[in-house]
Structure 1
């Protein structure tokens, strides 16, 4: 697998959007930025700061500018704190992508659900649904109204958008928001894990509606064991042992094989790798049920092996 290319970009503008949220407009140093669609995210690496993933929330039709919004996560891994404290307009950064595991699909009816900073990947979807003339609604929850980003932009959509701060209305009432089953409806949601887990449970018994989720943190996995196994490199036939408690990425690195990775949690998709043989043990928070059943790709930062050797398309 070819290493993903990165490029240099510049912070064109920085502004505060809500309590604890800054918006960064990103422009290329030279040429245009790669195209993208609603639901895409990028890798963002400030000089001297950590590499993290952020959803694009601007206009896909603008090739000269990307936009991200960054919540200052007090108990996070430090990436958002670095951005809030150090990144300013005019700074140059390294970006890579975009990648999209939350792609916007055609549907006659949409229900969007956003929790907090989870509004970011939803914003371009609202524009796309509106442009397509689709029937859509958004339920947007947050801790307080002051903490909820982009409320000014959402006002333009009128009654299609329900702004539901927790301190005013309580937790999102998912049964009321979803209402009766709507055949063909697509439900797109992004936000904290308890919200997404509740949506999964609510929609589990509703055939005909398709749920699409974007997670910012890994989904809790059932421990399927972590014994040793082998992977085979398709291009060379070389076999590499992966020890108990060792990730495939680390085993490959020890053998001198470099692959792109970032989060190491199975949430960003950077290390997605084709599988040509064997059966993976999927432990990521990205792949759909259909993609898991196909067993033709896996996230090698967290994935293991059910039946091997795993033949990797490398």
Structure 2
């Protein structure tokens, strides 16, 4: 029986992924590769929609791929590749650009947020067309399921609209994908600003738990996490955002429910609770860190794995692209 197709990816925008990436994406992907024909990409083309140092981008791309593997994404089971190693991503993106309305692209929330932050002179066209490249990423592989956070739902909806528009205009080519927002995925917030989602661009380095942080660094950050003054371990996102964030993190790495955590730490202060959280996080992250560093010690082997996977991605993507080119009327190459 053929497994349904899945696609997702993350940008190589930092030297390390963080706890939010791990809990919200990698843990979910690891489970999903059991039941889906999964394609996972390090989306370096998306990364250059903001300025990048070329040498650092190459390094971050390898480091991101190593963390995918270390967290349990298996290159023998899933197709794990670097986006720029598959030229069809940009080739299909151009075709989709031509059927996307300017107003339609302008309404994308993330673009409006970023363009208002950077101003028109600081906003490039790549940032504007970012969702259309994302649509190409998804549609190339005849993807059925796209695991994304709620903030990406609008982009998947655009992808669906473009696929339906293309199919209506040129004939059936694309599978219409569905967004999958994992119901059991905890959202992890910044430890120093627990009302903001943990982000690679967070204001305080102390608020971010990096997967590649050494154990002592993780422990120190968790012990210094913002809580409150009442000393009660209970989940209330509005009234107790700091404590609730630590509970969500603890639950994500131990499998405990919020009620089980409340019961476990009834009568205990925040010191005991934070020590337990730190211990659980270190136990979860340290094997990932060690495996990632081991992979990075042999970059030639890591590059070989990525190249093998890119071959499969190219094979699938080029089949879709050839059909698209034929449908829109491009003259076939004589070669």
TM-score (norm 1): 0.29
Larger radius of gyration: 2
Return the structure number with greater relative CO, CA threshold 8 A, min gap 6.
2
TM-score (norm 2): 0.27
When you count strand as a share of all residues, which structure comes out higher? 1
When you count helix as a share of all residues, which structure comes out higher? 2
